[in-house]
Structure 1
Amino acid sequence: MKLRIALFLLAFAAPLHAEINIQQVTSPGGIKAWLVEDHGIPFTSLAIDFKGGTSLDRPGKRGAVNLMTALIEEGSGKLDSQGFAAARDALAASFSFDSDPDAVSVSAKFLSENREQAMDLLHDALVNPIFDQPSVDRVREQVLSNLRSDAKDPSAIATNLERARSFGDHPYGSDGSGTIDSVTALTRDDIVTANKDTLALDRITVGAAGDITAEQLGTLLDKLFAGLPATGAPQPARVEPILKGGVTVQPFPSPQTTVVFGQGGMAFTNPDYYTASVLNEIIGGGRFTARLMSEVREKRGLTYGIGTSLANFEHSEVLMGQFQASNDKAAEAIKVIRDQWALIAKDGVSQQELDDAKTYMTGAYPLRFDGNSRIASILVGMQSLGLPADYPKTRNARIEAVTLADVKRVAAELIKPDQLHFIAVGQPTGVADE
């Protein structure tokens, strides 16, 4: 979830430089990629998503994809973990592997002079991981340590409760890292199965940026992915979040209460999505002038910070927010949010709020394309969201076109006070289950 939201915010909330030329590349073998050439510095960054992620865990094997992803760099071919690390470092290359509910993600950075050797090494990691038992046991213990830590973290507890409440027994409804019991029970065979289920040719999205031509990239991609299975496991079904308002309190010994709140969201393909994104910025953007920051923090001092986001998964969408407050202030903060939710649904927002949000989103605090790694990741995010390659040239105009009437109409349709649910983890005074 964290990666999908991050990619969305990166690709959508910031203008891209008009000078950037996105090439759509198809390799001789049919693999598609987006490329931004930059020959000023002799290195290239590559970003790859394998669609599916931890949602492809098999029944009873929760955490297998996450553990598999953490093991990819722990040895391949004839190299053990130390040998692989030494070979990578000798090439001055860097690789990283991650997973979230919707993708297994791979990123790579390599010098032009070492391109072939670096990609051979990455190819081995993707196609011939060894998953030796000592590495499985060692990395498993790291995952278990993180799970034990999360069990004592109120933010992780609140997030897991909200997942379960919103999505039930769908893969989105539980932590992709698994549970202590499920991860402890995983075998090497489970890891091998997870690898074949997720790293397959039918689910690849690629972004590249740097010192490489379209022809060179096409050749590289065919070699990099040669030997992967043609198809992986089926994608999960779409799931509608459970839309029932109220409050759930999870007692936790702490002077502060952590609160996660949310309701149903809006699909990115909805024609009103640009308007909804402006509305979300007005409600819960990071600016001190955003509605909830103003009402909850600035005017009343109930929290240090609060924000909301339109979280778009491959198979569902929600509007979510989070804050922390001292136990004696949590009840008032929840009431203020509820009041604002109802007010926005009824009356919309002001022209000043709209103008401020549009100014911010179109360039007041732009996120610059300041590195090839960032560019490659954004290219993958844009493709994942179905954005066109000319999006950098049209994005600001679409935001500028949003009117106050548009925002009022979408607010009445999207903001649902009766759906708004709060998960409160702590010892909040005056807050009870509803």
Structure 2
Amino acid sequence: MSDTLTQAPAPAGFTLPIREIRSPGGISAWLAEDHSVPVVSLAWGWDGGASLDPEGQEGAAAVAAALLTEGAGDLNAADFQDALRDAGIGLSFHGDRDGFEGGFRALRSPPGTAEGDALPEAVRLARLALTAPRFDAEAVERVRARSIAGARQALEGPRGQANRAFWANSFPASPYARPPGGTAESLAALPADAIRAAAARHLRRAGLQVTASGAITEAEFGRALDDLFGALPDSDAPVAPPLPRFALPPLATGGAQVVTVDAPQCAVIFGQPGLAVSDPDWEAAQVVLRVLAGGGFSSRLMTEVRVKRGLSYGIGAGLDTVARQGLILGSVATENARVAETLTVLRAEWARMAAEGPSEEEVRDAVAFLTGSLPLQFTDSRRTASILLSQRRNNRAPDWLAGRPARLAALTQDKVTEVSKRLLQPEALGAVVAGKPQGL
């Protein structure tokens, strides 16, 4: 028997060919065509979102997005929703911290027949929402009331308080410090004209990114692009502000920032700067964080915090992206009396990984998980279109997903250790604690 192991070939990445197409009217888009299921999904978006809300009008983009399906053209809110329901169309819009996005999913008819094909109706209704939203007073007040209730509910527990304080203290005096959905106070005072202006800032051809997945041909997609977006204004899109320098005081020097909340447990949000989305070590950084904080019971933080000490039911962290910059974000909840110990363990494990990196076995297991879990992200056309849109907004190449398994397989322990030292910054790791912590 040979004393060497035969390594199985790496699983394939995203196997559908992604074609970059241009409509007859000149609109660029990505298409992953797949006729195995008679469904098509489109996703589109613009940079900006809540980062473009003027001071004092926080939540304008989020409310504007919610209102786009609350009546358009000659259809009021009820009629518009009935039209979507009758055709089995899922159409939605949302505004987040750094983007404004929309998309739909529609059934297609069997080849050779137009009966049951919901794509034309989906395009018609989405075009109305994009070009002729009504912003009726009744709909504005209903969505406003719902948003205010959501903003208040988000602050009812320690987790929401910690999350709000984390962003406010990490990026002070920046649009990214503000709650993307607004506060109860800003939403209550939000003028209807500000909501319309937030929609108008985004709904234009400039800066538009579009993707599609599912049962649609290149010719059909080209026509749909022009029908959907051809009538949008062609003026310049506003520029979203860059993410400012991370400013949360580090655990190593100033301790955690505390928000007092009357609760038996503390919620902790912790983090530090990450890597730019364009950084060639992006995937090595994901391996580092999988080993340290993202591997369920196999991660180092879970082992030290829960398994060995019983400090919490769970702890984890991963890479988030804001304005194409990476940010490491994590969370944990623990008893008020044990939060200081939890933070001590967190800080020690962060420093140990930064100094030593992962073992060869940890790298192998993390690479296997990240490679094997990739196909599970593409379970339907809507998720696929959404993921492709995020890749496009991050300036990835169309073949980036297909090449991911090979890039992961090429990572060595030495390379991941090098990235650990570069990525993890114990001196910059900061945390916000909401609750009544003892010992801080």
> Above 0.5 in TM-score?
yes
Superposed displacement of residue 316, structure 1? 3.6
| Structure-2 change in CA distance of 1:327 and 1:109 (3 Å) | same
Aligned residues with identical type, % of pairs: 36
TM-score by length of 1: 0.92
Aligned residue type for 1:279 = V
Is 2:323 the counterpart of 1:314? yes
| Matching residue of 1:42 | 38
Partner SS state of residue 291, structure 2: helix
| Structure-2 change in CA distance of 1:18 and 1:56 (3 Å) | closer
| Matching residue of 1:84 | 80
Is 2:249 the counterpart of 1:249? no
Superposed displacement of residue 226, structure 1? 2.6
Superposed displacement of residue 35, structure 1? 1.0
| Matching residue of 1:413 | 422
Is 2:96 the counterpart of 1:100? yes
User: Gaps (5+ residues) in structure 2?
Assistant: 1-9, 109-116
Structure 1 runs of 4+ aligned residues shifted over 4 Å read 14-18
- Return the alpha-carbon distance in structure 1 between the equivalents of residues 198 and 14 of structure 2: 40
| Structure-2 change in CA distance of 1:51 and 1:381 (3 Å) | same
CA contact (8 A) 2:176 2:243 kept: no
| Structure-2 change in CA distance of 1:117 and 1:365 (3 Å) | closer
Superposed displacement of residue 158, structure 1? 0.7
| Matching residue of 2:126 | 122
Partner SS state of residue 202, structure 1: coil
Superposed displacement of residue 362, structure 1? 1.5
| Matching residue of 1:11 | none
Is 2:237 the counterpart of 1:232? yes
- Return the alpha-carbon distance in structure 1 between the equivalents of residues 373 and 391 of structure 2: 22
Is 2:371 the counterpart of 1:349? no
Partner SS state of residue 186, structure 1: coil
Of 193, 200, 214, 2:218 maps to: 214
CA contact (8 A) 2:72 2:128 kept: yes
- Return the alpha-carbon distance in structure 2 between the equivalents of residues 385 and 75 of structure 1: 32
| Matching residue of 2:371 | 362
Note the 1:23-422 alignment, pairs <5 A: 23-112=19-108, 113-230=117-234, 231-242=236-247, 244-245=249-250, 246-314=255-323, 316-363=325-372, 366-422=375-431
Superposed displacement of residue 59, structure 1? 2.8
Superposed displacement of residue 94, structure 1? 1.2
Count of aligned residue pairs for this structure pair = 418
Superposed displacement of residue 336, structure 1? 0.4
| Matching residue of 1:8 | none
- Return the alpha-carbon distance in structure 1 between the equivalents of residues 373 and 31 of structure 2: 27
Deviations, residues 244-294 of structure 1 (Å, cap 9, x unaligned): 303111111111110001111111212222211111111111421111111
- Return the alpha-carbon distance in structure 2 between the equivalents of residues 19 and 264 of structure 1: 33
- Return the alpha-carbon distance in structure 2 between the equivalents of residues 424 and 262 of structure 1: 12
Aligned residue type for 1:237 = P
CA contact (8 A) 1:16 1:369 kept: no
Partner SS state of residue 92, structure 2: strand
CA contact (8 A) 2:93 2:103 kept: yes
TM-score by length of 2: 0.91
Deviations, residues 380-419 of structure 1 (Å, cap 9, x unaligned): 1221222222223321111121222112222222212111
Superposed displacement of residue 124, structure 1? 0.3
- Return the alpha-carbon distance in structure 2 between the equivalents of residues 345 and 153 of structure 1: 33
- Return the alpha-carbon distance in structure 1 between the equivalents of residues 361 and 351 of structure 2: 20
Instruction: State the Cα RMSD in Å.
Output: 1.8
| Structure-2 change in CA distance of 1:383 and 1:365 (3 Å) | closer
Aligned residue type for 1:385 = N
CA contact (8 A) 2:16 2:34 kept: no
Superposed displacement of residue 369, structure 1? 2.3
